[in-house]
Amino acid sequence: MDVEELLAEQIAYYRARAPEYDDWWERRDRYYQGPEFFEWWRAEIDSVARWFKGLAPLGAVLEIAAGTGNITRLLAPHADSVLALDSSTETLEINAVKTAGMSVEYVAADIFAWESDRRFDTVAFGFWLSHVPEARFEQYWGKVARWLVPGGRAVFVDNRPPDGDWFERRTGNTDAVYDSSRGTSQRTLRDGHSFDIVKVFWEPDVLEHRLRTLGWQAQVGRTSGAFIHGVATLGHSISE
């Protein structure tokens, strides 16, 4: 499968997954792994929420791959406005319910095709960078750069790389079969339907270095468990 086909299948997967996406985030049904894990996961999400809060004020925000709104609703309270972009109208409809009353606009578009003259103080993306294939990494960050005002920030969270049995044990991703050599994951929905999607995990120091080669200054850290988070700017020192 070439990159174009993989990206198309990835879009189709998230459209089909929209009604069950939040089972993962909320740790319900097949993602429920008992009370201890549930508390640990909630603490991880709280630490992501605190991390975004620590970046306030965010000004005008473009959120890429906003999905069902789990990150949108963390961003919006600290933003003047959020433009929430996703390729799936199905996820954006769920997002709109969660963010009702907040200053959020929604746009359904493929990020690799979308163009805009608008500029933003912050370009944010949660659990999206790991779905950008290596072949599109440079193009993607070039787009992010064009959408930022001078001194603006790209901010992101994502899954931490799997190591040892941590990944299986801690994330319980029985719906996902990761192939590190291809940078893909085979995902299975509740109805048994399978899709191949992109999955490229980033170690914080490797990502910082890679972004530096593209002219970004980035600080990438991690929560105590499941996530990495980062701030990247072009040509300015970073104040978090």
Answer for the pair 82, 72: CB distance below 8 angstroms, yes or no.
yes
Q: CB of residue 40 vs ligand SAM: minimum separation in angstroms?
A: 18
> H helices of 111-219, where?
134-147, 166-171, 204-213
Binding site for ligand SAM (CB under 6 A): 7, 10-11, 14, 65-68, 70-71, 86-88, 91, 110-112, 126-128, 131
* Distance in angstroms (rounded) separating the CA atoms of residues 16 and 12: 6
Tokens of 74: 């963390």
Taking the least distance from each CB to ligand SAM, the nearer of 159 and 217 is: 159
Nearest residue relative to ligand SAM (C-beta):
67
Q: CB of residue 185 vs ligand SAM: minimum separation in angstroms?
A: 11
| Cis peptide bond prior to 77, omega within 30° of 0 | no
Taking the least distance from each CB to ligand SAM, the nearer of 131 and 153 is: 131
Q: CB of residue 86 vs ligand SAM: minimum separation in angstroms?
A: 5
Give just the sign of the alpha carbon dihedral 62, 134, 203, 45: positive
Taking the least distance from each CB to ligand SAM, the nearer of 88 and 233 is: 88
Tokens of 203: 């170690």
Taking the least distance from each CB to ligand SAM, the nearer of 183 and 217 is: 183
* Measured CA distances, 168 to 74, 85, 189 (Å): 27, 30, 17
Taking the least distance from each CB to ligand SAM, the nearer of 111 and 207 is: 111
Q: CB of residue 191 vs ligand SAM: minimum separation in angstroms?
A: 18
* Distance in angstroms (rounded) separating the CA atoms of residues 112 and 139: 8
Q: CB of residue 123 vs ligand SAM: minimum separation in angstroms?
A: 13
